[in-house]
Structure 1
Amino acid sequence: MSNVKIRPATPGDTDFFLSNVYFSSPEYPIIFGGRADATMRAVFKRPRNLFSHEFAQIALVDRRPAGFTLAYDYVQKKNLAAATAAIIVMTAGFELIKNVPFLVKNANNLERVEPGGYYLSNIVVSDSFRGRGVGAALMKKLEQDAIARGCEKVVLETNAENTRAISFYTGLGFTVADTFSFALAGEKRTYRRMAKYV
C-alpha cells in the first residue's frame, strides 16, 4: 500500500476533478449535454455550491492526485441547493432544459440527504492508483469529516450493477438501505442507496 495523503481540494484541482468525475457520475454528460464539461468546471471552481471544491478532498500518492471525494451534509445541501441549481442553469443553459422533467420527477430520490446524514456525492480513484489503499483512505477521511460535522451516518448511492463498488462499501461496514430506479435517455438505471452509522 502506498503512502496516501489527503488534503482539501482547491480551484487548482479543477482539471483533475473534470478528468475523473464522470467515472462516478456517468449521467452528468447526459443531463448537461454538450455543456457538461463547462458546467462541471464552473461549479467546482466556484464556492458556495454543492459541487464546489470546498466540499472535496484530494488523495495524493507520491504528491500526485490519485482520487477524490465530494461530500456534504443535510444542512449544507438545504442551504446551497438553490445556489447550486442557479449556477448549473446559468452554465448549462438550454442543454439542461430537455432534462428538467427528469430532474423534477426524480428530485426526491437522487442525492437524498436526511437530517444527520453526510452524503457522499462522488468518489473516484484513478485507474493507475487502484488497489493501493486510496479508496479506503478517502473513506476513512470521509467518516472523520462526517463525525466532525455532527452527522450520525454516511450515505451514498451506487449503480446496482457496480458489484465491485458495492463489495468495497460492504467491506467498510455499509449496508443497503434501499433501491431505486429511474429512466434516463430511454434507459432504466437502478441504484443502491447504502449507509453506515459512524
Structure 2
Amino acid sequence: MKVKVRKTKSNDFGMIAELIYSTEPFPQVIWGKGKKEQILERILELLEDEDNRYSSKLVMVAELNDRVVGMILLIPYVELRRLSKNTDKILLKYQHKDFRKRFIEYKELSYNLEEAEREELYISNIAVFDEFRGKGIGRALFEKAEEEAYLIGFDKLSLTTKDEKVIKYYISEGFTIEQVMKLEDKNLYRMVKEL
C-alpha cells in the first residue's frame, strides 16, 4: 500500500475537518460552543477561507487507496502571527458569552509564545486517523513537509505540542526539543528538525 501525499481538493474538506477536530482534547475551548457537528461546520468554514491558519491552501493530505487518511498543515513563519490573529477574530464570535474574555486572555498569552522562528516552516497540525496509525503515514506527511520547506527556502521544520505522549514519536522523526514554554499551567514543547 503506497501512501500518496498531495495538495488538498475541496472534496477532502470533510475528512480534513474531522482530522483537525481530533487534534484538540477540548474542542469547545478552541472552536467555541456547540456540538461536534457544529464545530465541524466551523472548521469547514475556516478551510474555505484563505486568510486564516486553517486555510485549505496550507493543507496537504495523505491518501491511501483513494481515501484521505491523514493531513498536515504547514504555515511559513512570516504568515503565522497574522493568520493566527485572523483565525481568532473568526472564532471569537462562536465563543459562549461567559468565555469570550477568557478566550481573548488565552489567545493574548499564546501570541507571546514563539511557535516558530524566521527560518522555519511551521507544522500547525498533523493528524492521522486512528485505524491508519503505524502504517508510515505520519512519516510520509513529514517527508512532504520537508520537500515543501526546501521548495520555499526553509532549512528547518518546527512544531509545538502540549501532548507529552507524542514527543517520543516526533523525536523518532528527527525533531529535538528546542524550548519548553509555559502556557498557563501546561508545558508547551517547541520542537525543531534541521533539514
Q: 139, 142, 152: which one pairs with 2:142?
A: 139
Letter in 2 for 1:46: D
Q: Is the 8 A contact 2:109 2:183 kept in 1?
A: no
Range with bigger deviation, 37-46 or 170-179? 37-46
Q: Is the 8 A contact 2:59 2:71 kept in 1?
A: yes
1-side partners of 2:125 and 2:12: how far apart? Answer: 15
Aligned residue pairs, count: 189
Q: 95, 102, 105: which one pairs with 1:101?
A: 105
- Pairwise CA distance, 1:137: 0.3
Match of 2:40 in 1: 37
Letter in 2 for 1:106: S
Letter in 2 for 1:83: N
Secondary structure of 2:15's counterpart equals helix
**Runs of 4+ more than 6 Å apart:** none
- Pairwise CA distance, 1:23: 2.7
Alignment of 1:15-164 (within 5 A): 15-35=14-34, 36-78=39-81, 80-90=83-93, 92=94, 97-98=100-101, 99-109=103-113, 112-162=115-165
- Pairwise CA distance, 1:9: 1.2
What 5-or-longer segments of structure 2 have no aligned partner? none
Letter in 1 for 2:169: F
Q: Is the 8 A contact 1:43 1:88 kept in 2?
A: no
| Identity among equivalent pairs (%) | 28
What 5-or-longer segments of structure 1 have no aligned partner? none
Letter in 1 for 2:135: R
Letter in 2 for 1:59: A
- Pairwise CA distance, 1:38: 3.8
- Pairwise CA distance, 1:84: 3.2
Give the TM-score normalised by the residue count of structure 1. Answer: 0.85
Secondary structure of 2:131's counterpart equals helix
Secondary structure of 2:177's counterpart equals strand
- Pairwise CA distance, 1:173: 1.3
Secondary structure of 2:111's counterpart equals coil
- Pairwise CA distance, 1:48: 2.7
Give the TM-score normalised by the residue count of structure 2. Answer: 0.86
Letter in 1 for 2:194: Y
Q: Judging changes above 3 Å, is the alpha-carbon distance between structure 1 residues 117 and 192 closer, same or farther for their aligned structure 2 residues?
A: same
Q: Root-mean-square deviation (CA), in Å? A: 2.1
